[in-house]
Amino acid sequence: MVNYHSDCTSSSSPPSPVRLTLRRRDRDERRRQAEHFAQGRPRPSHTLCGNDRCLLRCCNVFATSPRFLPVFLLGDSERSADGVPVRDIWTDFAYLASTRMWPSPEKGRKNGNKNKKRKQSEALLRAQSIEAFAASPPVRAAYLDFRGLCEKNNLSFTAESRLRDMLSAAMSPLCDVLASLDAAAVAAVKSDNVPAYTEQLVHCTLQGCPPQQQQQQQQQQPNHQMLLLHPGDKQPFPWTHEACIMRFLLTAELWRRHDGRHMRRRGWAWGGRWRVAEMLSGVLLQYWLMDRERCFERVSCRGGEQCDEVWQDWVDKYPLLGEDDDDDDGDGDDDDGGGEEDEQEEQEEEQEEEEEEEEEESNSRAVKSPELVPKPLGLIKGLDLDKDVGYVGGVGTAHRGPLWIEARQRHGVEGLPQH
């Protein structure tokens, strides 16, 4: 009886403080991950190729299991080798990318001041979204993977012009890959299934098979199963500069488009394929230049909890911009037909206020957008345009110009301008 009573007492006793602490920690961890998923973090089971059963490490970049955890994580140093704050370098790149890749407001138009202010506000929000994408954990991991592949295969870009030439050559193949992904996305909506060719395309590109060789292989042997690789299979093609670049670009692009709703809420719906390809190329060049100036620090990954901390830092720095924002290509300059008289009265009333505000802005140059204070190129402390150094890589310096093609240069031009 004594033993029976003692057993009942022990079974009904409250949990120990240690067990309560562990339960609270698990509960808090689940809540934090749920917040991350709501903010756009892909679930660990999400793969780049779309096949949840895929075991390729290059496709399981969001997994947190010990099998797929990265060895290192890439963080920002406080300052570059020349003492420039790294956060300022990121902000300048995003702001100049936003203002160079999207047209500025036209001069001399009716209500030009109002349109100009709206365009400036859109440019700031777009810059914030670009910075959020460039500094996101998946893009950081993709660059660390890119650098590791280059080092492992004795591939190096000794000069910036070499990398620019490679990015220029990769533009057209990347646009072809984007076209295939767009077609697959439409087919997936209709059939509720990812086409097999898309999985093969992603696998081959991420494993070093250039798209040109994929097409040749498909033409020569349409039913060949070489494209369906599995862990442990021998690498069919040697790694090249182009293959490493395409792996980074495709990884970043699949992260950008992993969820359409999140892409809109983040402001990552950048428009056509050329613009997307130009932006991704600019991000890679920016990472390479910042790495050359020792703007990053590589730290060992201790486990899944550290990955959660990295995501938490990113979510805190870059909150969502809103709910399903409209396309920010700047197509909505013209007013609607209804209510023209009311709008004209409002515009007249706001005209005086706008003039006063513009006067204050020209004096103070105040920026209301949170955590985004752009500094004009050349005014960054430590940046000397007379030297062959470009901190803002995707935009370039005064000597070399932007990485991407200006809108007036796109017709009849193959790839990016050579520098």
pLDDT at 90: 92
Contact 335, 342 (CB under 8 A): no
Evaluated on CA atoms 195, 58, 167, 127, the torsion sign reads positive
SS3 73: strand
61, two tokens: 């970049």
Q: Per-residue DSSP letters for 355-376?
A: HHHHHHHHHH----STT-----
Contact 90, 131 (CB under 8 A): yes
262, two tokens: 């999140």
pLDDT at 186: 81
Query: Which tens digit of pLDDT belongs to each residue from 203-255?
Result: 888 988 866 666 555 555 554 444 444 343 445 578 899 999 999 999 999 99
219, two tokens: 């033409």
Query: Which tens digit of pLDDT belongs to each residue from 284-333?
Result: 999 998 998 899 999 998 888 888 899 999 999 998 876 554 444 444 34
Crossing angle, helix 196-206 and helix 160-191, to 10 degrees? 160
241, two tokens: 């500069």
**Which residues are CB-neighbours of 404 under 8 A, at least 6 positions away?**
100, 101, 278, 279, 281, 282, 394, 416
Contact 213, 237 (CB under 8 A): yes
153, two tokens: 């295969």
pLDDT at 380: 40
Question: For 7-21, 260-274, 394-408, which range has the lowest pLDDT when averaged over its residues?
Answer: 394-408
Alpha-carbon distance of 136 to 134, in angstroms, equals 6
SS3 90: helix
pTM of the prediction?
A: 0.71
User: What does DSSP assign to residue 407?
Assistant: G
Contact 129, 365 (CB under 8 A): no
Question: For 55-59, 173-177, 236-240, 284-288, which range has the lowest pLDDT when averaged over its residues?
Answer: 236-240
More confident residue, 284 or 40: 284
Run of H or E residues at 75:
strand 72-76
Domain ranges of the chain: 71-106+128-302+309-327+369-409
End-to-end Cα separation, the chain, in angstroms: 90
More confident residue, 17 or 203: 203
**Which residues are CB-neighbours of 116 under 8 A, at least 6 positions away?**
105
Which amino acid, 401? Answer: G
Which amino acid, 221? Answer: Q
Q: Is the pLDDT of residue 159 over 70?
A: yes
pLDDT at 257: 92
pLDDT at 395: 43
Answer left, alpha or beta for residue 148, where phi above 0 means left and psi between -120 and 50 means alpha. Answer: alpha
CA distances from 36 to 32, 40, 216, 228, 307 (A): 6, 6, 42, 32, 11
Residue with tokens 């990955």: 307
277, two tokens: 């390809």
pLDDT interval class at 191 (50, 70, 90) = low
Q: Is the pLDDT of residue 132 over 90?
A: yes
SS3 328: coil
Question: For 88-97, 103-112, 190-199, 253-262, which range has the lowest pLDDT when averaged over its residues?
Answer: 103-112
